[in-house]
Amino acid sequence: MEVSVPHGRHLRSSGFVVVHQSRRPLGVRMVSDLPVTSAARAAVDVAVTARRRSEVDHVVSHVLQRGMASVEQLAEETRLLGRSATAWLRTAVVDACRGMRSVGEADLRRVVVAAGLPEPEWNAEVVTPVGRFFVDALWRAQGVAAEADGAAFHLSAEDWSEDLVRQNAIHGAGIVLLRFPVRRLRSDEAACGREIDTLLRSR
Dihedral-angle region of residue 30 (phi above 0 means left; psi in -120 to 50 means alpha; beta otherwise):
beta
So what's the pLDDT on residue 39? 85
What integer is the mean pLDDT of 13-26?
60
| Angle subtended by helix axes 71-81 and 39-47, to nearest 10 | 50
d(CA 17, CA 36): 15
Q: Which of helix, strand or coil describes residue 186? A: helix
Residue pair 96/64 in contact (Cβ under 8 Å)? The answer is: yes
Please report the DSSP string for 134-165 in residue order: EEEEEEGGGTEEEEEESSGGG--HHHHHHHHH
Q: How many C-beta neighbours within 10 Å does residue 17 have?
A: 11
What integer is the mean pLDDT of 95-116?
89
Domain positions in the chain: 2-98, 103-202
Report DSSP state, residue 82: G
Give the model confidence (pLDDT) of 139-190 as tens digits: 999 999 999 987 654 456 677 788 889 999 999 999 999 999 999 999 999 9
Query: Residues for the chain: how many in total?
Result: 203
Topology annotation, domain 103-202: Endonuclease; Chain A (3.40.960)
Dihedral-angle region of residue 41 (phi above 0 means left; psi in -120 to 50 means alpha; beta otherwise):
alpha
pTM over 0.75: no
What are all long-range contacts of 25-30, with beta carbons under 8 Å and residues at least 24 apart?
Answer: none
